[in-house]
Structure 1
Amino acid sequence: MAKSASAPVAPAADFEHSLDELEQLVARMEGGELSLDESLSSFERGIGLYRHCQQALENAELRVRMLLDPDAPDTAEPFEPEL
């Protein structure tokens, strides 16, 4: 069965797509061949992508903390395996 165009994208896939687009924007801007308007539009889009990626990373960190210590995620410490 084919995926619907309105089906939600997995958070990791959405993050990867946003990060890839951000990297492409940066490369184009660093190339120095964009007009001022194109540069401003690219910068604006890049800021939005950056914020989206940052939020995704914060959500992932929260999920990890919840898994490490569901009763007190703010005080969760990373798992250190015994040697």
Structure 2
Amino acid sequence: MPKTSPKKPEANPNQVAEFEQSLDELEQLVTRMEESEMGLDDSLQSFERGVALYRSCQGALEQAELRVKQLIDPSRPESAEPFEPDTP
């Protein structure tokens, strides 16, 4: 019986495209909200959409982080140190 390796998450190119589209839409939404005087109803709808886009992007980033951890140490992804980017 052949030995099977642990299942690795497969990259989904659609997830990357969806993340980029969501991020782009979120940036456009923020710009519209900053540059115009919206009514209360429009502001609330825009805010709700922004929260949904933010959550979608956050979920995609968390999945990417998990994948990186699994690539660094496939046997113990939870032991990988979190990535801390250098910020000026």
**Same-fold status (TM-score > 0.5):** yes
- Higher RCO (CA 8 Å, separation ≥ 6 residues): 2
TM-score in terms of structure 1 length: 0.78
Aligned match for 1:63, one of 55, 62, 67: 67
- Root-mean-square deviation over aligned CA pairs: 1.7
CA–CA separation in structure 2 for the residues paired with 1:19 and 1:66: 25
TM-score in terms of structure 2 length: 0.74
Could you list the structure 1 runs, at least 4 aligned residues long, displaced by more than 3 angstroms after superposition. none
Q: How many residue pairs align between the two structures?
A: 71
> Match of 2:22?
18
Gaps of 5+ in 1: 1-7, 79-83
CA–CA separation in structure 1 for the residues paired with 2:38 and 2:32: 7
CA–CA separation in structure 2 for the residues paired with 1:9 and 1:41: 29
Gaps of 5+ in 2: 1-11, 83-88
Q: CA deviation at 1:58?
A: 0.3
> Match of 2:52?
48
Q: Which residue identity lines up with residue 53 of structure 2 in the other structure?
A: L
CA–CA separation in structure 2 for the residues paired with 1:63 and 1:9: 14
